[in-house]
Amino acid sequence: MKNNNWKKKFEGEYLDIWQTPKDEDGKSDFVLAVGGTHLFLNANTVFPELKIATDTVNREMSKPDGACYQ
């Protein structure tokens, strides 16, 4: 369901991120496409919070299990 005016910002194996055209105020949003689902993310609120969330989860997943340096 890609709109022809969307710009692809990221193409992955499992998900894509598109940017919508700018509106009258010069603002655009992002669309997270996973499978056949398209989730619209407000560029000023939801998208930055999504980045913080994924960074937080990534740090937790990358945290060493036990003592690395002894």
- Domain edges within the chain: 7-62
What is the chain's mean pLDDT, rounded?
89
Dihedral, 15, 20, 30, 27 alpha carbons, nearest 10: 170
- Is the pLDDT confidence value at 41 over 90? yes
Q: Confidence band (pLDDT; 50, 70, 90) for 12? A: very high
What does the pLDDT look like over 45-54, one tens digit per residue? Answer: 999 999 999 9
| Mean pLDDT confidence for 2-11 | 86
DSSP class per residue in 7-67: EEEEE-SSEEEEEPPP-TTS---EEEEETTEEEEE-TTTHHHHHHHHHHHHHHHHHS-SS-
Give the Cα-Cα-Cα angle 28, 55, 25 (nearest 5 degrees).
Answer: 15
| pTM score, whole prediction | 0.75
